[in-house]
Amino acid sequence: MMTRIPIPVAATHDLRRGQGPLIKRGAPGELTGVTTATPGRYTVTFWPFGPTGIAVVMDNLTRLDLKEA
């Protein structure tokens, strides 16, 4: 199965990694990478402050962290 990258997604719950900014539930993002391991892990670029704000890249996310946007 071929995966089209990037794929629009949104956070299903609040996410934070280390000292990075809080990604609020519903924040828009794009799926930019998928691991080949089972179950798959995802890399997503989020724009927590809108399309003109900063971009935050998070990896090692699961399907439970994301929904289609």
Domain CATH number, residue 50: 2.30.30
| 1 found inside a domain | no
Residue 5's pLDDT is 64
| 49 found inside a domain | yes
What are the structure tokens assigned to 64, written together?
């439970």
- The SS3 call for residue 65 is helix
Q: Report the number of distinct structural domains present in the chain.
A: 1
| 13 found inside a domain | yes
φ, ψ (nearest 5 deg) of residue 50 = 95, 170
Other CB atoms within a 10 A radius of the CB of residue 24 amount to 15
- Do the beta carbons of residue 29 and residue 45 sit within 8 Å? yes
Residue-number span of the structural domain to which 49 is assigned? 7-68
| pTM across the whole model | 0.83
Each residue of 29-69: pLDDT tens digit?
999 998 888 888 999 999 988 878 889 999 999 999 999 98
Counting Cβ atoms within 10 Å, is residue 41 exposed (0-12), middle (13-18) or buried (19+)? middle
| 2 found inside a domain | no
